[in-house]
Amino acid sequence: METISINNIKENDSFSGDLLIDSSFVLLPQTAPVSNELLDALKEWEFDTIYCEGSIGISSTSDGKSNSKDSDEESHKMGESIKKAIENSKKQFIGNSDYSRMKMVQRVYDEYMNYVESVFTHYATHKKIDQAELAETVQELCVFIKENKSYILRVNPSFETSNKIFLVGHALRTTVIAIAIALQLHMPLSKMIELGETCILHEIGMLRLPPQLYMTDRKLTPGERMQIHKHPLLGYQIVKELDFPLTIQLGVLEHHEDENGTGYPRRLTSEKISNAAKIIAVACSYEAITSPRKYKEERSSFEAILELLQNKNKKYDDTIIKALLYTVSLYPLGSYVFLSSGKPALVVDTNPNNPKCPVVQLLTEKEKDGSPKTLQTEENGTKIARILSKREKEDLLALLEKTQKEEETKAEIQAQNSEKAGVPNENASAEKDSPQTPASSTEINAEKEQEASPQEAEVQSVNSDGTENVDISFFS
């Protein structure tokens, strides 16, 4: 990667590789021309050097002007290629196993990440957003979430920030959570599309702030925090300049307003805050708590839902929090838990009648046909005893991965032997289609089973049978 002085870059210069501010922030995609506005912004932000994965490769046009038409066509083609990739991922989904469907959803999610990144990058470089394409893409996302809600809410965000600017990962995951809440509230599709567009753009004002403010791994000074607090207003100015509908403008402007009037930038109270902003506020907070940042570790989704249920100082709308609770359950989708039977399990679906009793997938048992074994937890039967600690989860996943590799190796050997003998192996594909699990849970350290994080201990009480007792009766 080459280091390039800002003073050596001229308007309309293009590069054979991406221009970057650091190892993760793409400032300008390859072949895109440098604008005077970008150079002025870099000087204003006091950047003396930037980085490039290539070199100057495409010169200015003969008349000294950048070819914006070609850039727009490239953006259009990029949007079309993402749509094709999403469709191809859906077509590659074969069979009905939980594992293959989860892999398909992860691939589609990654493609939507690429799309959101392209929206941010194209705005940063061209000050344009294709509203029609954005609306169409969000509509497709709404349908996809409705069809795959219990899977897409289990997508792990842990490594999204490693290769992409965190704003992209935050924008998409907040959008997924917000649309899922909207589905729970039976919001009309047209309103969901507007909500999704607002979610994708709700942090776009950050692009008008120095990147070192929101990409730092240190605690911000009071002055820097005041600058960060300007991003809703900056975002509002952006979507207003681009002539987005007023509902989207207000959602971007108000997503940090609190019900009690202590939010920013205008300190609005409940009755003056738009409904979209209220949903984004809850979804945004839930996402922020459960995702890693350079300056903090992520907390469990269980801790996040408990914090929001407490709703200290009445910052959030209770109706939205209740909708989130029924969307992800008290023990949120994707959580690893111990059951009252002593078995480890994964929360894979919600219970529309009781958020305390979600559907779980047993991790040490399978059905006779080799498919994952699921169980509906019950308050008067097998219930969730507690969430696994971070260490327990890591140990369990390592054990599952080891067992899966052993079983895959065994299946490959069986397939090879069957081919040599001329006998078809009917089970080989099925065995590869789903992750294998250990025969029992005895390898999970018994001492760890008694552990609970300090945060959990502060917010929960325990029943006589050892299971957690969380009061959600005020939502009844």
**What pLDDT does residue 327 have?**
96
**What pLDDT does residue 234 have?**
95
Locate 185 and state its tokens: 């509230």
Cis peptide before 265 (omega within 30 of 0): yes
Residues facing 366 on adjacent strands: 372
292-320 burial, b if ≥16 CB within 10 A, otherwise e?
A: beeeeebbbbbbbbbbbbeeeeebbbeeb
Locate 100 and state its tokens: 């293959």
Main-chain dihedrals φ then ψ at residue 47, nearest 5 degrees: -95, 120
The H or E element containing residue 195 is helix 189-201
Q: How many CB atoms are closer than 10 A to CB 177?
A: 26
User: DSSP assignment, residue 284?
Assistant: H
For residue 31, count CB atoms less than 10 angstroms from its CB and return exposed for 0-12, middle for 13-18, buried for 19 or more.
Answer: middle
**What pLDDT does residue 66 have?**
40
| Closest to 142 measured CA to CA, from 103, 180, 93, 102 | 180
* Dist CA 144 CA 109 (whole Å): 10
CB 45 within 8 A of CB 215: no
| Closest to 470 measured CA to CA, from 359, 383, 361 | 383
**What pLDDT does residue 304 have?**
93
**What pLDDT does residue 475 have?**
47
Contacts 24+ apart (CB under 8 A), 228-231: 229/256, 229/264, 229/265, 230/205, 230/265, 231/203, 231/205, 231/206
Total residue count of the chain as it appears in this document: 476
Residues facing 269 on adjacent strands: 260
pTM: 0.74
Locate 130 and state its tokens: 């294709």
Which string of DSSP letters, residue by residue, matches 3-47?
EEEGGG--TT-EESS-EESSSS-EEE-TTPPPPHHHHHHHHHTT-
Which string of DSSP letters, residue by residue, matches 80-116?
HHHHHHHHHHHHT--SS-HHHHHHHHHHHHHHHHHHH
**What pLDDT does residue 161 have?**
46
Angle at 209 between CA 164 and CA 14, to 5 degrees: 60
* Dist CA 51 CA 22 (whole Å): 7
CB 193 within 8 A of CB 132: no
End-to-end CA distance of the chain: 58
Report, as ranges of residue numbers, the positions in the chain whose pLDDT lies below 70. 1, 16-17, 22-32, 53-83, 85, 89-96, 157-165, 217, 293-296, 422-476
* Dist CA 306 CA 310 (whole Å): 6
* Dist CA 267 CA 214 (whole Å): 23
181-218 per-position pLDDT tens digit:
999 999 999 999 999 999 999 999 998 888 777 777 67
**What pLDDT does residue 209 have?**
85
**What pLDDT does residue 24 have?**
55
For residue 438, count CB atoms less than 10 angstroms from its CB and return exposed for 0-12, middle for 13-18, buried for 19 or more.
Answer: buried
Angle at 28 between CA 26 and CA 30, to 5 degrees: 105
